[in-house]
Amino acid sequence: MADTVDDTMLSPDNLTRLRTAAGVASEVLKEVTGWLADGEKIVDLCERGDELVEKKLSTVYKGKNVLKSTNTPVTISPSSHITPFTPLKSDAEDAAMTIKAGELVKIQLGAQIGGFGAIVGDTVVVPQEKGKKAEITGRDADLLLATHYANELLLRLMIPPGLLATGSDEEKAKAAAEKPPTHSKITALVEKIAKSYDVNVVQHTTSWMFERNDIEGKKKIILSPHDGTKGDGTPEVGEVWGVEVGMSLGSGKVKDLDKRSTLLRRTNTTYGLKRPSSRQTLSEIVKKFGTFPFSLRQLEDEKAAKVGVIESVRAGVLREYKPSAEADGSPVSRLFTTIAITKNGLTRLAAPPALDLDSIKSDKKIEDEEILKILERPTNKSTGSKSKNKKKKKKPVKKAAAAEADSDSDDSSDDE
């Protein structure tokens, strides 16, 4: 029987699919993080990660005619890389790339079940040995703290006004009547956090509304937009979003790299492909990944796939994700969280581990009163903000944001 699930993202059945996919993605992120060590080959880590996603997905929804796959292959991006990086074994130079102790790398991956998927991403300092924690100091500390707080701020700004309001009916109605923050206001607040830590927001960092079979839905929020690009829409109850925050120790400007695009995705464009090899490659892509991003490395014959996608890319049937990096080569961080917005607030379906704020030291801090107040807000009705009466000290804000992250990650209440 065909999969006949409706497209409503947060219906009970689909929320279960989302939670299951998110659980797989989060487990694999944790395991891949534990594999990081000085000298490890990026391509080997990515391959092992993809295999682990497949293995974990094979244990759920057994015997059901439902497509299960990565919805972003495992990607491990070197220090200055901005877009997710997933090299090929058949490209000798990229296949030889290793990670180094002390380097900031970005891990990003996702899983989907029946078109309902979650993506998660974290920035990690590579330890000398597997399983060890690298010390985070200096400018790396500034970068990671800025990214953490910007992420916490953005998540709170995505909660519809009045959703978590307390007090009298009149007070709740007044809160609900407030307008959501504009995209320019969101960018301005995030950039204030970046300035507090002397870093820059990565240009064109985009959060998308997720839909079934689509990680780039109708709505989007763009931080630090350029070239006239604009976001579109505001988050509402019943929606699932992929929330991205990127920061840089450099300019934040993006440059394309002279590298092959190994990450691709099928579009909605139809075209009569002329070459049999093109049709064969596209058929494999559709069967394995539907309309979700994939790596050429995940196809049966990597070398044949390099040729097999050319016609589809030219015809717009496949879209390439161009490899890019910080224009001045500085380290870049990225966090990626998949959230659901329900009547009870915001739930982190798949989120990077909460940053250990007590172990990261910086001589910089956030002093803007507006931002500090936003960071103290709860993100859902199951967690109260106990630090409301405290002043703008750094520690209470740290604890408030960290507590919310832990609570949201563990939240398994019935949101519908």
Average pLDDT, the chain: 91
Residues 6+ apart with CB under 8 A from 76: 32, 42, 45, 46, 85, 86, 99, 105, 106, 107
* C-alpha separations of 90 from 73, 101, 262 in Å: 17, 26, 11
**Which residues does residue 246 pair with via DSSP β-bridges, in sequence order?**
334
Domains of the chain: 12-258+333-376 (3.90.230.10), 260-322 (1.10.10.10)
Encode pLDDT of 252-282 as tens digits: 999 999 999 999 999 999 999 999 999 999 9
Distance CA 14, CA 205 (A): 28
Give the predicted TM-score (pTM) of the model: 0.91
Distance in angstroms (rounded) separating the CA atoms of residues 235 and 219: 8
Give tens-digit pLDDT for 95-139.
999 999 999 999 999 999 999 999 999 999 999 999 888 889 999
167-171-176 Cα angle (round to 5): 115
Does residue 112 sit in helix, strand or coil? Answer: strand
Write out pLDDT tens, residues 42-81: 999 999 999 999 999 999 999 888 999 999 999 999 999 9
The answer to whether 108 and 119 have CB atoms below 8 angstroms apart is yes
Burial readout 144-169 (b: 16 or more C-beta within 10 A, e: otherwise): bbbbbbbbbbbbbbbbbeebbeeeee
